[in-house]
Chain A
Amino acid sequence: MKAKWQTVFLSIVLAAVLAAPAMGADTIKLGALYNLTGGMSSIDAPALNGAKLQAKLINEAGGLLGKKLEVIGIDTKTDQKAAATGAKKALAMGVVAGLGYGDTTFVMAAAPLFQKKGIPFVTSGATHPMLPKWVGNCMFMVPFGDDDQSFAIAEYTFNKLGAKKVAVWTDNSMDFTKALSKFFKQRFTELGGTVVLEDFFMMGDKDFSAQIARLKNAKPKADAVFISAIPNEAGLTVKQIREAGLTLPIVSGDGFDTELVTTVPGPKLANDVYFSTHTYREDNRPEVVAFIKAYEKEYKRPPENAFAALGFDAVGLIADAIKRAKSTEKNALRKALAATKGFKAVTGEITYSRPSGVPMKGVSIISVKNGKYKVEEVWFPKK
């Protein structure tokens, strides 16, 4: 019995020891912190795939500064403790920069540790506009801020859809959705519109009949409804509102950037839906086309969502900065990143010109009509 246990134990030790030195010696290391297992994995796993793909393409084209780029994927298990240890692990391995995460919570557990060491951290998908303020000058965002995407759809709703009175539905369980609603209301009322009804639900709700009843009876009548939700509720709300016979436009942010918006209600009911999102879906810029082609070739499936493209862009952004800095020294790299101007990313051009540290980046307004997605316009922040 004892001998058997020993064998099992020793074989495990051996496996781990053998696996450890598999890392190459002279490479430029990037620490990619993602929740590859657990609740966030559907968002984070594609992002790491995108990041690794970018590194592979760069290496095939000759690498950086004569070295190969190596993306070390670290699984942080949708657990903040693991995020903190993962960040420390990446730093101990001597990474020149960190990247990762599609959610602010985890960035806040990892990024401050990079900041403390003065090493840049690039988030591929977290959109809270205060992130660079909270963390410091080593924090960089690939996506736009939540304020920009809300402003974009608010202006579109007011100016192009001609809605003057809106109802606002908010998922009250997440910071992201609450922030989205807040910024939407702010810009919509600034433009001269009025919010006639505010309603709330929680992530995981399946039945929206109470909210729909209040929406129907709202006085004065709403011209459009803004729904701040994440993908699961996006499809359900559209389906139930249309089934109830309401035809007013439904508007939202990048939580609606999912196939569920058309597959759950079906093409007949998925009509008159507008959302703001990363400039990626249904886009035909050469960067987007090339990315999708490369991704399909590498992983034998199309990119799962915009986060794959954002992960790809995060590594691209860092590589671009390394090229311009001609060095991987942390201060030079941080300055080069901060000076990024007009970097042609898959998800739009990135320029860091604002004091807030949030990139100036285009926001796509996408319409859904009879189950078909179409880019209506690309909105740019004014300042």
Chain B
Amino acid sequence: MAAPSNRAWHVVLLVAGGLLVLVARATVNEYILSIINFVGIYIILAVSLNITNGFTGLFSLGHPGFMAIGGYVTAVLTFPVTRKAMFLELPRWLAGLQLPLLPALLAGGLCAALTAFVVGIPVLRLKGHYLAVATMGFLIIVQVLITNWESVTRGPLGLNGLPALTTLWWVYPWVAVTVYAAWKIKFSSFGRSMLAIREDPLAAQCIGIHLFKTRVLSLAIGAFFAGVAGGLWAHLVTAITPASFSLVMAFNIVVMVVVGGTGSISGSFVAAVIFSVITEFFRPLEESFDIYGIGEILMAAVLILILIYRPTGIFGSREPRFLVAKES
């Protein structure tokens, strides 16, 4: 049996990524570092949304909702006990609990995935536009819940003063894990059944694919990584409010997936990098000439151009050839 993918290249890329992180930490200032961190978080978000939207073709706008769940769970778990007593009214077992970042992130991700299961069971019976609207509804429900659950979330003011735990060494290993997981899924029979559902659910069902199970799982896996990304996000910004994870963010992530190519992991990766960096890129221009907002306008223009000239996205549904194993 041929290796599922081209191992050597993957190892080379992983090492190169590690070296880049080392170099970045040694050379650039905090501003650039924070941008690199956000790029990493957006890569996790885009690649994980690609599992849901790209592979299985479930058009979900609920990704920031899962991020919010993961973010709040992680934030409450890592919040120093002394500050918890000052700000929140928690049940006793939670009030005395303060976890390191890794278990908190995992708990956040798992809560998001669990929510995805619960939400997925009714919602995934819908298709197409209906599904998109239902997931949008989910996002709004999450926001309203967080806004009103004051004893735990502090309402609209949000949690602030979180420990700034997120560093490049936290973000990029998670990027690697996310990409690896997505890759393994895509080139497994499970991933193939996802792609089959996307192309034609009826045909997929005819060859024995369990539609519902596959759909719920793809939503839950995407949600897990969104939850982790939410946790990383919270500890990078060090503040988290219900408005942090908005519909605008949902669109931004969907744009990354669409521009990169629905179903292409490399595509999501590249598009996430481009779209998180491009607005920063125009900052000097905005600030020197007082034309604030030009970055967004140009980003929209780039988006339109890509959709006109490459409607399937930069990579389509494929991965670059050198990364994929040759057909035997």
Contact = CB atoms under 8 A, between A and B. Distances in A.
Interface of A: 1, 12, 15-16, 19-20, 22-23, 36-37, 72-75, 77, 80-81, 83-85, 88-89, 91-92, 104-105, 108-109, 112-113, 116, 128, 134, 173-175, 178
Interface string B233-251: 1001111010110000000
A85 B288 contact: no
Interface in B24-55: 29-35, 38
B285 interface: yes
A92 B292 CA distance: 20
B292 A81 contact: no
A113 to B, nearest CB: 8
9 contacts: A19-B285, A73-B287, A73-B292, A80-B244, A88-B29, A92-B31, A105-B239, A105-B243, A108-B160
Contacts of B35: 85
Contact of B285 (A15, A81, A89, A113): A15
Contacts of A173: 147, 156
Contact of A89 (B31, B161, B289): B31
A74 B287 contact: yes
Contacts of B90: none
A15 B286 CA distance: 11
A73 B30 CA distance: 19
B283 interface: yes
A12 B238 contact: no
Given A23-B288, A105-B158, A173-B156, A85 B34 contact: yes
B100 to A, nearest CB: 21
A71 B155 CA distance: 34
Given A88-B34, A109-B239, A16 B285 contact: yes
Interface residues of B, number: 41
Interface string B81-97: 00000000000000000
Interface string B210-244: 00000000000000000000000100111101011
Contacts of A85: 31, 34-35, 38, 280
A72 B287 contact: yes
Contacts of B287: 72-75
B160 A88 contact: no
Contacts of B233: 81
A72 B292 CA distance: 12
A88 B239 contact: no
B30 A91 contact: yes
A45 B134 CA distance: 36
B298 interface: yes
B157 interface: yes
Given A15-B285, A72-B287, A134 B160 contact: yes
Given A74-B283, A75-B292, A134-B161, A84 B34 contact: yes
Contacts of A74: 283, 287
Nearest to B83: A134
Contacts of A109: 160, 237-239
B238 A16 contact: no
Given A92-B31, A174-B156, A73 B290 contact: yes
Q: List the 7 closest A-B pairs by CB distance, nearest first.
A: A92-B31, A22-B288, A108-B160, A92-B29, A36-B292, A88-B31, A89-B31
Interface string B284-326: 1111111011001010000000000100000000000000000
A108 B236 CA distance: 13
A16 to B, nearest CB: 6
B247 to A, nearest CB: 12
Contact of A19 (B29, B156, B284): B284
Q: Which residue among A108, A173, A178 has the maximum number of chain B CB atoms within 10 Å of its CB?
A: A108
Contacts of A16: 281-282, 284-285
Contacts of A15: 285
Contacts of B34: 84-85, 88
Interface string B162-185: 001000000000000000000000
Given A72-B287, A74-B283, A88-B30, A37 B241 contact: no
A16 B294 CA distance: 12
Contacts of A128: 157
A116 B161 CA distance: 11
A112 B161 contact: yes
A12 B292 contact: no
B236 A84 contact: yes
A1 B310 CA distance: 12
A108 B283 contact: no
A34 to B, nearest CB: 9
A75 to B, nearest CB: 4
B293 to A, nearest CB: 4
B237 A81 contact: yes
B87 to A, nearest CB: 9
Contacts of B241: 80, 105
A19 B285 CA distance: 5
Given A74-B283, A85-B38, A175 B157 contact: yes
A36 B292 CA distance: 7
Contacts of B293: 36-37, 75
A112 B283 CA distance: 22
Contacts of A36: 292-293
A74 B280 CA distance: 11
A160 B33 CA distance: 56
Nearest to A135: B161
Contact of B289 (A19, A81, A108, A112): A19
A121 B85 CA distance: 27
A61 B18 CA distance: 53
Contacts of B237: 80-81, 83-84, 109
A113 B239 CA distance: 11
B305 to A, nearest CB: 9
A113 B296 CA distance: 26
A36 B293 CA distance: 8
A91 B282 CA distance: 19
Nearest to B234: A80
